[in-house]
Chain A
Amino acid sequence: NAGVTQTPKFRVLKTGQSMTLLCAQDMNHEYMYWYRQDPGMGLRLIHYSVGEGTTAKGEVPDGYNVSRLKKQNFLLGLESAAPSQTSVYFCASSYSLASLSGGRYEQYFGPGTRLTVT
C-alpha cells in the first residue's frame, strides 16, 4: 500500500516549456486535489476532482490544466511554464463521504514535487 505517490520529485524547466506531473493513489479515494505551496502562503488549491472524468477549478487555476481519466490517477499539466510557477506541488486524495472513512475527511498527501522555472 503506497498511499499517494507523485512523479517526478524534482524538475527544472525553462520558461515556455511544458510538463505533466503525475499523481497516483491506491486507496480507492473519490476525491483528488492538486495544491501548490509557497513560503508564507500555505497550501493553495489549484484544481480538484470529485470522481473519474470530472475536474473543477480551485483557488489558483490559471496556467494549469488537469485530467482524471482513471480513478487512481490525477495529472497536472503546465502548458507554458512561467517563473511564477516555481513552487512545491502536492497531490492529495480523500474519501467523498465521511461515512466511508469512519467519519473522517482527512486528506492523504503525496511527498511533493519541487519545480523550478528559470
Chain B
Amino acid sequence: QKEVEQDPGPLSVPEGAIVSLNCTYSNSAFQYFMWYRQYSRKGPELLMYTYSSGNKEDGRFTAQVDKSSKYISLFIRDSQPSDSATYLCAMSDTGKSTFGDGTTLTVKP
C-alpha cells in the first residue's frame, strides 16, 4: 500500500463549480502538507502549504488537513478554465516529500 493515496480522477466540471480534491496518508509523522499544481508540459509549482491540522484559505483555494483521520483536501471555489491542471498532494516530516499520483482537473467553459 502506498504511503500517500490520491483520488485518481480525472475530474471534469463546468466553470463556476466547487471542486474537491482529496488525499489520504498512512505516516502519522507527516506534519507539512502541500498541494502542487502542474500545467501540461510544465513542472509542478507549489499552490498551497499547511502545517499540521486545520484550514488555510488563499483566494478561491482552501486547504484542509485532518491529522486524526489522516486526510487532506483542496477545495477550489468558482472554478475557472485556467484551473485546468493536474493537482498533486505532497507530505513531509523532513526535507524530502512524498507525493500522491495526482488528479487531473478539467474545467469546461
Contacts and interface: CB of A to CB of B under 8 A. Distances in A.
B43 A111 contact: yes
Interface string A35-60: 00000111101001010000000000
Interface in B30-50: 32, 34, 41-46, 49
Given A42-B88, A42-B101, A43-B88, A105 B95 contact: yes
A26 B25 CA distance: 32
B102 A42 contact: yes
A50 B42 CA distance: 25
B97 interface: yes
B92 to A, nearest CB: 5
Interface residues of A, number: 28
Given A42-B88, A42-B102, A105 B42 contact: no
B96 A48 contact: yes
Contacts of A112: 41-43
A16 B56 CA distance: 49
B88 to A, nearest CB: 7
Contact of A98 (B32, B43, B46): B32
Interface of A: 4, 30-31, 33, 40-43, 45, 48, 50, 90, 92, 94-98, 103-112
Interface of B: 6, 32, 34, 41-46, 49, 51, 88, 90, 92, 94-97, 99-102
